[in-house]
Amino acid sequence: MDIDLKILRYDPESDRKGHWEYYTVEADPEERILDLLHKIKWFEDGTLSFRRSCAHGVCGSDAMVINGENMLACQVLVKEVSNPITIEPIRGLPVVKDLIVDMDPFFDSYKKIMPYLINENEPGERERLQSPEDRDKIEDTTKCILCAACTTSCPVFWTADSYIGPAAIVNAHRFIYDSRDEGSKQRLEILKDVNGAFRCRTAFNCTSACPRGIQVTKAIEDVKRETLLNN
Amino acid sequence: MKIIKHSFDGVIVGAGGAGLRAAIEAAPHMKLAVITKLYPTRSHTGAAQGGMSAALANVEEDNWNWHAFDTVKGSDYLADQPAVDILCKEAIDAVIELEHWGLPFSRLENGKIAQRRFGGHTVKEGEAPAFRACYAADRTGHMILQTLYQKCVSMGVEFFDEFQVLDIKIEDGVCKGVIAFELSTGDIHIFETRAVTFATGGFGKIFKVSSNAHSLTGDGPGILYQKGIPLEDMEFYQFHPTGIYRLGILLSEAARGEGGILRNKDGERFMERYAPSIKDLAPRDMVSRAIATEISKGNGAGPQNDYVYLDLTHLGAETINKKLPDITDFVRTYVKIEPINEPIPVQPTAHYAMGGIPTDVNGRVLSDEKNTILPGVYAAGEAACVSVHGANRLGTNSLLDIMVFGKRAGQSMLEYVSKTKASSISDSSSDDLVKKINNLIEKEHTDEFSVGRIRNDLQESMEKNTKIFRTEETLSEQTKILEDLRERYENVTIFDKGKVFNTELMETIELDYLLDMSESTVASALARKESRGAHSRQDFPERDDAEWMKHSFAFKNGNSATLRYKDVELGKYEPMERTY
């Protein structure tokens, strides 16, 4: 079947602002949106630029806005979206070219929350013990692939890019709730900041945007509660 | 384009598991740069699922010697046994170290790291399947990649994200530096350095149906191969038995470790006929061959009889949701069926290169079959061939490989840097590369010679002629096709003439490596007149220990390869018939 695509293009070397370009490609209903983008790039217009790698939703490269919603292009099939398909870069981060945005501010926020295990005690020769119940507390938030679909779906982030954003808070949650970690106090202090967790207005966009099904808003609420308890 | 020069003691190319592990070892003691064409967390280590084996004995009695026995037997006796001993012995500390750095392993009731069964891993040298694979649900690789990256962030490791290394400079047999292309600007960066580790991963994109990421194009092996460094054991490429039908997306062996069963169109558990003792948990080469045989006998399912079923329906929702959540989500997303109730259509998918850049057990790159060391150049992970996987890698041993030999490569870099003085690289060292890029950009674009079309023909022909079963005829046919594709590649043109994120330009250069990988694979496969591990010659169906207990070294020779050989290093395990 023929699929029509409308893609927001921007070439910093020749365009002053973004413009729409229209393509028609033949596709099976089972194909991924990423496959359609590849068909255009490989057989029609090699200038179309986007990030991708694993092509099955685990590397987090190809978050984009598809028919108005944040998704991974490799995780959505043609038959799941209505034709024509509109594709835009994720919002709130500077567009570099076509569907590629500058991810550095996103990773900078991630690095701010000290995303690593903090525990000064000598762990000994064998593994630290952790009960299955304790391990379960971080099951959801350890799934994060840092694709930025959540952060760039957040209306607060769109208007104030100083907001640390859902993804950073999810990764803080992953350590705050890890029974082996002892850095919660420091992280909660960071998240108490004016640009921290309390900027969240529980719009739930992040939860619907997460391609890994993480309960992002719930994680943010957990962190807010811990912040209050920590005071 | 601008040319920018940097100076480092050491450079690591690739930020997957092997590169990051090497970085953790080296970074505290030298000025180190890690260069990756992706962001580190996009690396394909993150797609590994089932586990990382180590004889922790958390569930039952285990011993690293049994792990070594299984690895050697699984390799069809082509692995170098002293290297396998290192792999399996150091596995235990490698797992513990990851736990200490925060890896959220799944846990047993007593709080210890959980372990599960996996293909080819047994207790007491083949007695019964072993609980040896340490895991974090079915996203073990994701957790390893995240944990290593987190450790690097805590250490302040310096990364050059979205920089693609395109050349290495070796003068008088000594490493001088690497040249990289900055994707976001199109600028060229000269990295002056005396030690380089290549940890660029595999090259599954030579095949059409593959579990590999688009980025897995053999960059590290390709760069060195073009400089006259040989590639070892290229004929041994692993096809994982259970890729999602047509898409090739990996469904972990953990599915069978947890009790999943393969069935043909009649619902028969056919692995009982091929591996009576461990059945569905036989090593991957055997299971993939069994599937291909079932399909060729007309026992495949579906309208074209070209797939089999992975049946998890008897496991129950709880086990599936708890232990296999990601892969069953893939099935829901891409096949739109519920694996709790329905069997999953699967077919073998191109998965892992046992071959690659030859190294010793310390990650030092060898420039020939006589073990001559290339000073200052190291390799680790899938890009390298130590060889610990021989003719067929056991599941879970790749995550182990990146940890054990990534660390060793990092240590070797340190040792080398501490013993040598910094040397300079000339400002003109990027001239060849700049010329190559300008030539590509200046050529007028024609559809016929587009990267997409040439690569498509490459992948389809490699799929058809060199996948699970090979013969003199299919390999000769592929040799001719590769000659034609190489000729077309000489005329390749690109549409995108810009500087910023010219990903088409990068794909064009990657295609050169894919052709190199294919040429060396086919030449090595044509020369090896026996069947061993993943290399199955229908015209030479038996393993021939008298003639072929040796590693292939393919040296680039125009568009083909010259082959030389090195004897396998044996140890305490005598080659025996490989039955399960």
CATH of the domain at A116: 1.10.1060.10
Distances (CA, A) of B282 to B55, B118, B120, B261, B424: 19, 9, 5, 12, 52
Per-residue pLDDT, averaged over A52-78, amounts to: 98
Distance between CA atoms of residues B164 and B506, nearest Å: 8
pLDDT confidence band for B425 (50 / 70 / 90) = very high
pLDDT given for residue B447 in this prediction: 81
The strand pairing partners of B308, in sequence order, are B346
For the beta sheet containing B115-123, the strands, ordered from the edge strand earlier in sequence to the opposite edge, are: B52-53, B128-134, B115-123
Of the residues B295, B322, B348, which one is the last residue of a structural domain?
B348
DSSP label of A53: S
Q: What is the pLDDT of residue B423?
A: 83
CB B254 within 8 A of CB B51: yes
**Which tokens go with B343?**
């069997």
What is the predicted pLDDT for the residue at B17? 98
Q: For residue A230, what pLDDT band results from cuts at 50, 70 and 90?
A: confident
Q: What's the domain count of chain A? A: 2
Q: Which residues of A touch B328 (CB under 8 A)?
A: none
Residue B532 appears among annotated catalytic residues? no
Same domain as A109, residue A72: no
Instruction: Kindly report the average pLDDT of chain A as a whole number.
Output: 97
Pairing relation of β-strands B3-7 and B115-123?
A: unpaired
Report chain B's mean pLDDT, rounded to a whole number. Answer: 97
**pLDDT over 90 percentage in chain B:** 98
The H-or-E segment that residue B254 falls in is helix B254-257
Q: Residue B532: which domain range?
A: 429-567
Structure tokens at B384: 């390298």
**Length of chain A as a residue count:** 231
Task: Among A52, A96, A130, select the one facing B500 at the smallest CB separation.
Answer: A96
Residues of B in contact with A59 (CB under 8 A): 38, 41-44, 46-47, 213
pLDDT band, very low/low/confident/very high, at B237 (cuts 50, 70, 90): very high
Residue B107 has what DSSP assignment?
Answer: B
* Same structural domain, A169 and A69: no
Q: Residue A75: its pLDDT value, please?
A: 97
Local confidence band at B448 (pLDDT 50, 70, 90 cut-offs):
confident
| Cα–Cα distance measured from residue B543 to residue B531, given in angstroms and rounded to the nearest whole number | 5
- Would the pLDDT of B445 be above 90? no
Tell whether B217 lies on the interface with A, counting CB pairs under 8 A.
no
Which amino acid, B172? D
- Please check the confidence at residue B102 and state whether its pLDDT lies above 80: yes
User: Of B299, B328, B348, which residue constitutes the final position of a domain?
Assistant: B348
Cis before B367 (ω within 30): no
Residue A133 CA to residue A135 CA, distance in Å, equals 5
Catalytic residue among B284, B289, B470, B528: B284
Q: Are residues A89 and A123 in the same domain?
A: no
**8 Å CB contact of A53 and B213:** yes
Classify residue B60: in a domain, yes or no. Answer: no
For A61, which residue in chain B has the nearest alpha carbon?
Answer: B42
Q: Which residue of A has its CA nearest to B143?
A: A142
End of a domain among A78, A101, A124? A101
* CB within 8 Å: B213 and A41: no
A69, A101, A133 — which closes off a domain? A101
Look at residue B310 in the predicted model and tell me its pLDDT: 98
Tokens of A191: 């998240």
Residue A42 with chain B: CB contacts under 8 Å: 450-453, 455-456
- In the prediction, which pLDDT does B486 show? 97
For B449-469, how does the pLDDT look when each residue is reduced to its tens digit (9 = 90+)? 999 999 999 999 999 999 999
Task: Provide the number of structural domains found in chain B.
Answer: 2
Is the model's pTM score more than 0.95? Answer: yes
Report pLDDT for A161. Answer: 87
> Any idea what the CATH number is for the domain that residue A89 is in?
3.10.20.30
Q: Is B109–A132 a contact, with Cβ atoms under 8 angstroms apart?
A: yes
Is B446 among the domain residues?
yes
Confidence band for A173, pLDDT divided at 50, 70 and 90: very high
Task: Report pLDDT digits (tens) over B177-225.
Answer: 999 999 999 999 999 999 999 999 999 999 999 999 999 999 999 999 9
> CATH number, domain at B326?
3.90.700.10
B72, part of any domain? no
Inside any domain, residue B265: yes
Q: What is the mean pLDDT of residues A85-108?
A: 98
Instruction: Give residue-wise pLDDT tens across range B153-184.
Output: 999 999 999 999 999 999 989 999 999 999 99
Among the candidates A65, A86, A101, a domain finishes at A101
ipTM confidence score? 0.98
CB < 8 Å from A in window 302-361 of B: 326, 329-330, 333-334, 336
Residues A110 and A89 in one domain: no
How far is it between the farthest Cα atoms of chain A?
Answer: 62
Is A137's pLDDT higher than 80? yes
Cα angle for residues B501, B504, B505 (degrees, 5° grid): 85
Instruction: Give the residue from chain A lying closest to B114, CA to CA.
Output: A132
Among candidate residues B140, B162, B182, the one with its CA nearest the CA of residue B40: B162
CATH number at residue B521: 1.20.58.100
By C-alpha distance, the chain A residue nearest B138 is: A143
The helix/strand/coil state of B295 is helix
Which residue in B8, B13, B281 sits closest to B131, CA to CA?
B281
Average pLDDT over residues B85-108: 98
